[in-house]
Each structure stands twice: as C-alpha cells, then as structure tokens.
A and B are shown apart, each in its own frame.
Chain A
C-alpha cells in the first residue's frame, strides 16, 4: 500500500541553525504538499509542488520535489523560535482523482533560543 515516510522524526536545533526534513513515498505522487502543525494546533497548509524537480521558496523555507516525484524536502535557513512545530509532507497517488492525501509521520522541530 501507499506509504509516505519522513526523516528525521525529531530535530532539535539552536536558533539560527538550519533544518532539513526529508519525505519519501513508495509510489509516484501527483503532487506533494507540506503542512505545519504547531503544538496543540491543527495542520496548516504551507505549499504544494506539482512539477518534477520543482523548487519553491517562501522566505527562509525552501521546498523541493524530486525528479521521480517520489521524494521531497523542506529546508529552513536560520531557524527561529517561531518555526517550532511538526512539519508533514502529504500527497495523493498519481492518477487518483479522489483527493485522498497520504501523510508522513512528520518531523517535530524544536528550536532553542
């Protein structure tokens, strides 16, 4: 069955350090979406990547979608305490028209001041 895996599960960084989380799917994805969930909160959409090899930036966040559309990464430059939370990747299986998302387990980021 469809599996989306993320590593690492936990990451603790000092404020100002960089952070990267990696996402791998067992099957080809139509697109990859990234969500952030703050402690006690709900997932909030960050970005969607659709094209093979696509790279998008949002201020200090850089998102990449692999050439085979089976992997993705999120890189945060110079982390801040506001970056704390769990980052999830999610995607639908290619060819699916139903919109079901398969979520990774998430990477929980802790930033120490």
Chain B
C-alpha cells in the first residue's frame, strides 16, 4: 500500500498523559500536513512541513503540541499533558509539490484520540 499511513489508528488516554502519533507520507512527497477534525467539522490545519522544515503552525497548535519531521520523511505529532478538548481525529496528509500553490493533498486514515 503506497498511501499515507498513520499509527496508531485509535488512542485512548487519561487526561494529563502525553501521546505521540506517527505519519508516513506517500514516498517522495515533499509536503506533509497535520489537521485536526472534530465531529461535524471540516479538517482544521495544524501545521505543515516542506521536507524537514516546519514552515507554518496554526494558532490552534498550543505549546503542548509539537511536530517533527526530522529526516523529511515520516512525521510525529506529540501532545503533552492532554486535555479532554484534545479529543479529535488527527489527520495527516501529504502532497507532492515543492513550490507554487497548494496541490492535491492525500489524507491518511487518521488517529482518533479520546482523552478521558
């Protein structure tokens, strides 16, 4: 399967715990995006990487959130001291373009986080 993969698919955690999600984009895709989606809403942009550089972060991304893409391939999203409001589907997407305007984004299956 050459699509975007995410791990884990589901995560249940207690409030205050740290969680880390992984995203493996489509091979050779330069751009990688993280979105958050809650019930009844469209995906909300969190952050974006071009290769290993994190080029933009949303104001939604509080200090408790950190994302990395150390080698320009897979990416991790960590949430520290989780809160119940963090419960959502975390989607990763990748795109092949290296310049110019937005190109098609291919989404992974998402990681559903539930904070108890």
Contacts and interface: CB of A to CB of B under 8 A. Distances in A.
Contact of A31 (B31, B45, B55, B101): B101
Interface in A89-113: 90-92, 96-106
Interface residues of B, number: 28
Given A42-B91, A43-B91, A97 B101 contact: yes
Give the size category of A's interface with B: 20 to 34
B114 interface: no
Nearest to A33: B104
A97 B100 contact: yes
Contacts of A103: 35, 42-44
B44 to A, nearest CB: 7
Contact of A101 (B45, B55, B100, B106): B45
A100 B48 contact: yes
Contact of A48 (B43, B48, B104): B104
Interface of A: 4, 9, 30-31, 33, 35, 41-45, 48, 88, 90-92, 96-106
